[in-house]
Structure 1
């Protein structure tokens, strides 16, 4: 079974097997936003066994009219609150937000493949 993922409209492919050797660069590094919808908030809260209000207070902050998952600052780096350094993985993987599911196929990277390659070792030129 191939781990190479292609998506129409993108001039690169993604080798998902690279994730096992990467230090979760998509979940760590520079500070950023990890936006979640109302449905995703409910799904994640249920997944980790919290009521929605408690989940929102503990793990989210409001940026404009959107909610984003909080980050932890480790040294000079930031990481998603749900990134686990020990397992090098996501503790809410089964309930992760669409933004995480769709990475690295974001419109932003369509014309910035070189920038994407710096973040993700699984990017392959088309």
Structure 2
């Protein structure tokens, strides 16, 4: 199975095998928002063996009309609450939000490939 992913409408390909060489720059760095919908909240809460109210209280905050996963501050950086430094991975990978599943193929990066390449070593021009 190939680790190379190509999506129509994007001027780059993504080599998913590069994730092992990166220090999860898509999960750490500048503060941002990791939006989750109601279905994702239920899935993640169930995966963590929490009810959705307890999960929301401990791991989410309201951002406008949406909910976002909380971050932790680490030195001068921020990281997703579910990023595990020891394993350099996501502790909820199997149920991670759609926003995480679709990275780096976000509309934002269609016209910002150079910016994306600074963040993600798996992005290569086509």
**TM-score category (smaller protein):** over 0.9
Q: CA RMSD in A?
A: 0.4
Matches within 5 A, 1:18-97: 18-97=18-97
Gaps of 5+ in 1: none
Q: Write the distance in 2 (CA, Å) between the matches of 1:97 and 1:66.
A: 13
In structure 2, how many angstroms separate the alpha carbons of the residues matched to 1:47 and 1:36? 15
- TM-score relative to the length of structure 2: 0.99
Work out the CA distance in 2 between the residues paired with 1:102 and 1:3. 15
1:17 aligns with 2:17: yes
The count of corresponding residues between Structure 1 and Structure 2 is 126
2:103 is matched with: 103
SS at match of 2:42: helix
Name the CA distance, whole Å, in 2 between partners of 1:46 and 1:6.
Answer: 32
Please give the alpha-carbon distance, in whole angstroms, between the structure 2 residues aligned to 1:63 and 1:4. Answer: 34
The 2-side partners of 1:124 and 1:114 are apart by 10
Q: Corresponding residue for 1:120?
A: 120
Q: Please give the alpha-carbon distance, in whole angstroms, between the structure 1 residues aligned to 2:57 and 2:73.
A: 18
Gaps of 5+ in 2: none
Deviation, structure 1 residue 2: 1.8
Runs of 4+ in 1 over 4 A off after TM superposition: none
